[in-house]
Amino acid sequence: MDAQKARRNTLQRAVMLNMNYIKEMNAFFDWLETNPLEASTQTLWFHLMGIANKSGWPEWFAVANPLLQAKVGLSEGSLNKHRNILEQKGRIEYRSQGRKKPGKYRIIPFIASNFEVIHEVNREVMGGVIREVNRDALNNKLKELNNTATTRTREEEPQTVGDAYCQVFGKTIIPPNVQSFIVPIIEQHGEAYAIELVLETGEAANKPSLRYMQQVHASWQSKGISSRAEAAALKEQRAPPKPTSTTSALPLVTLTDEERAEMERIADAQRLANLQRRA
């Protein structure tokens, strides 16, 4: 019972961690109203937040410059410029580790208690894993994960909204107006829904756009749809039945030699009567 209670408490704190992540995103949008930044600077901050989230929210985390350049779509010089802006604005701390090692980053939170909870959760989760996880169960889980990793298809579905947007729109930078639309959706419906929405926009529209994405979202909400599969199933249900042909093919008629000769005799008599009338 104590182990179950500990796991339940850990899950509750993990949910709180995720909500605090959303609060930080919203706080960033509020902060931008009085501290405008270039789109590339904003995108760099969003990617750093995403990397910190995937890493389990360590206080410091390392990211190689080429990875950030690819994610944000910047040259090394431009990356240094936008990183310096975030440092000067008090949004991140950065420690260079030389040319051969990735630099270290620390997110400076808007709400200090958010990250205190995150670090507390990290410590408790690690302690709980060490104390409570059965070694055999852990080994089985690792084997399962390894088997899953080896059977993945070469072309996987995007795992983040950023990857989905890049796939559909061909851009590594999500514009601020799209971010303003997407972030509240993630907060309310989850990132999986947002990914499906972006991908549906790419599949259903000849020329994907934010306006069309908004229309798809409104349509999905009115119909209770949460994925492309549900949208396709509903479309299939509402499609009119295909018309069936009611006309049957005429049967082929095969003439006998006598019948063919009789028809030729009648045709010859008709041609002779025509010639006589003309005369």
Instruction: State yes or no: pLDDT of 119 exceeds 60.
Output: no
For residue 129, what pLDDT is reported?
45
**Are 90 and 183 part of one and the same domain?**
no
Structural domain includes residue 257: no
Band of pLDDT at residue 187, cut at 50, 70 and 90: confident
Structural domain includes residue 188: yes
Band of pLDDT at residue 126, cut at 50, 70 and 90: very low
Structural domain includes residue 262: no
Band of pLDDT at residue 85, cut at 50, 70 and 90: very high
The mean pLDDT value for 179-207 works out to 84
CATH number for the domain including 16?
A: 1.10.10.10
For residue 194, what pLDDT is reported?
87
**Are 8 and 129 part of one and the same domain?**
yes
Picking from 61-65, 128-132, 184-188, which range would have the lowest pLDDT averaged per residue?
128-132
**Are 18 and 126 part of one and the same domain?**
yes
**Are 119 and 39 part of one and the same domain?**
yes
For residue 9, what pLDDT is reported?
53
Instruction: State yes or no: pLDDT of 225 exceeds 60.
Output: yes
**Are 57 and 180 part of one and the same domain?**
no
**Are 26 and 124 part of one and the same domain?**
yes
**Are 8 and 55 part of one and the same domain?**
yes
Band of pLDDT at residue 262, cut at 50, 70 and 90: confident
Residue with the bigger pLDDT between 144 and 26: it is 26
Instruction: State yes or no: pLDDT of 91 exceeds 90.
Output: yes
Band of pLDDT at residue 244, cut at 50, 70 and 90: low
**Are 6 and 133 part of one and the same domain?**
yes
**Are 130 and 169 part of one and the same domain?**
no
For residue 144, what pLDDT is reported?
56
Question: Mean pLDDT: which of 104-113, 130-139, 206-215, 270-279 is highest?
Answer: 206-215
Among the three residues 104, 139, 174, which one is the final residue of a domain in this structure? 139
Structural domain includes residue 64: yes
**Are 74 and 114 part of one and the same domain?**
yes
For residue 178, what pLDDT is reported?
81
189, two tokens: 């419906």
For residue 23, what pLDDT is reported?
80
Structural domain includes residue 40: yes
State how many domains the chain has: 2
C-alpha distances (whole Å) from 101 to each of 37, 87, 158 are 28, 20, 28
Structural domain includes residue 151: no
For residue 77, what pLDDT is reported?
92
pTM > 0.85: yes or no: no
How far apart CA 163 and CA 171 sit, in angstroms, is 9
pLDDT tens-digit readout, 47-72 = 998 888 887 778 898 998 888 988 88
**Are 126 and 184 part of one and the same domain?**
no
**Are 15 and 126 part of one and the same domain?**
yes
Residue with the bigger pLDDT between 181 and 137: it is 181
Range of the domain at 211: 161-238
For residue 86, what pLDDT is reported?
96
Structural domain includes residue 250: no
For residue 36, what pLDDT is reported?
93
Structural domain includes residue 125: yes
